[in-house]
Amino acid sequence: MKVFSVLATVLTAAAAISAAPTAQHEVRDVWSPKVLYPHAGTVWYSGQRHNVTWDLSSQPVNITNNPAFILLKTENFVTPVVLGYNFLLTDGRVEITVPDVISRPDYSVVLVGTGDNWGDQFRINGPIADL
Ligand SMILES: *[C@@H]1O[C@H](CO)[C@@H](O)[C@H](O)[C@H]1NC(C)=O
Ligand SMILES: *[C@@H]1O[C@H](CO)[C@@H](O)[C@H](O)[C@H]1NC(C)=O
């Protein structure tokens, strides 16, 4: 897992809160599933619908299954563009619409749940050519 400092700080605080023992002392694990799609070699076009998918095989027994969301990232920074929200990590997928973007080869998706994790870099071809 790669850690993006700002998100990581927020998420560490969130994880600390959610990891606080409840009255029943339940154990809740931080879980950052690996993004499976999009992967290296994927090319998306603005306006298309796609399922972002992630690996459910490492799912802990007890997870804090709060609503998760997906952001779009370039090589150097996480953008505030929300690709998907209002789904659960246990869903394993969420259908998104590719937004209008400047064409670039260095996009990736950031899956933010109990932890954050981002996938491989891939290309999006949008209405504006690579700058
Ligand atoms: C999962 O949660 C249940 C109920 O709180 C608890 O009894 C159990 O020990 C937990 N299992 C793990 C692996 O943390
Ligand atoms: C996303 O996955 C669901 C469930 O498999 C499927 O019904 C839907 O058609 C998929 N959407 C796209 C855009 O492939």
Structure confidence by residue, pLDDT tens digits, 49-106: 999 999 999 888 887 777 899 999 999 999 999 999 999 999 999 999 999 999 999 9
**Ligand 2 atom 13: residue of nearest CA:** 50
Dist. CA 26 → ligand 1 center (Å): 6
Whether 26 lines ligand 1, by a CB cut-off of 6 Å, is yes
Whether 61 lines ligand 1, by a CB cut-off of 6 Å, is yes
User: How far is Cα 73 from Cα 104, in angstroms, rounded to an integer?
Assistant: 11
Does the residue 26 lie in any domain? Answer: no
Does the residue 16 lie in any domain? Answer: no
What count of other Cβ atoms lies within 10 Å of the Cβ of residue 79?
Answer: 14
27, 16, 58, 81: CA torsion to nearest 10: 140
Whole-angstrom CA distances from 130 to 36, 102, 106, 116 are 25, 6, 11, 28
Task: Please give the residue range of the domain that contains residue 95.
Answer: 35-125
Does the residue 30 lie in any domain? Answer: no
Does the residue 71 lie in any domain? Answer: yes
pTM of the model: 0.78
What count of other Cβ atoms lies within 10 Å of the Cβ of residue 5?
Answer: 7
Does the residue 90 lie in any domain? Answer: yes
Q: Is the pLDDT reported for residue 22 higher than 60?
A: no
Does the residue 24 lie in any domain? Answer: no
CATH for 68: 2.60.40
Does the residue 10 lie in any domain? Answer: no
Residue 5: CB partners within 8 Å, gap ≥ 6? none
Domain count within the chain: 1
Does the residue 42 lie in any domain? Answer: yes
Question: Contacts from 104-107 at CB under 8 Å and sequence distance 24+?
Answer: 104/74, 104/130, 105/130, 106/74, 106/75, 107/72, 107/73, 107/74
